[in-house]
């Protein structure tokens, strides 16, 4: 299998994630779509690491996973805080910062 297949697959997964962010309005699902995009990036990193034959890309993928875990923790904390304060869980209704 050419590495190109993996890269094109990762592009497709990234596009699906980006489309999900545009379509869905629930912050929880938007976080899930961010996970999709980060994982597509991970797949591309690992595929490039295979094509160049050294393992540094895999280390990058590991660090991306750490960053994704941090993002999840903070994002879920925000969602729980919104739920507790009875703020509607819809990204269109949250517009206090709009100018």
Partner 1 sequence: MVEVAFFAGAIGAIGGAIAVIALRNPFYSVLALIVHLTSLAGLFLLLYAEFIAAAQIVVYAGAVMVLYLFVSAYVGAAEEPLWETIPGQRLLAPVLAGALFIEVSVAVVGTSLQAVESEGPTVQAGFGSPGSIGKLLLERFLVAFEAASLLLLIAAVGAIVLAARKRERKRTPEVAA
Taking the complex as a whole, the smallest distance from the CB of residue 97 to partner 1 amounts, in Å, to: 16
Nearer to partner 1, 20 or 99 (CB): 20
Taking the complex as a whole, the smallest distance from the CB of residue 36 to partner 1 amounts, in Å, to: 5
- Distance between CA atoms of 59 and 65, rounded to whole angstroms? 10
Taking the complex as a whole, the smallest distance from the CB of residue 23 to partner 1 amounts, in Å, to: 5
């Amino acid at each position: 299998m050419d590495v190109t297949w993996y890269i094109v697959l990762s592009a497709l997964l990234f596009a699906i994630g980006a489309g999900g962010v545009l379509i869905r309005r629930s912050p929880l699902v938007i976080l899930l779509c961010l996970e999709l995009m980060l994982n597509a990036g991970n797949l591309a990193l690992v595929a490039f690491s295979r094509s160049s034959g050294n393992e540094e890309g895999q280390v990058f993928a590991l660090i991306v996973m750490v960053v994704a875990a941090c993002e999840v923790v903070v994002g879920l904390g925000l969602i729980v805080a919104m739920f507790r304060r009875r703020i509607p869980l819809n990204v269109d209704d949250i517009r206090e910062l709009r100018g």
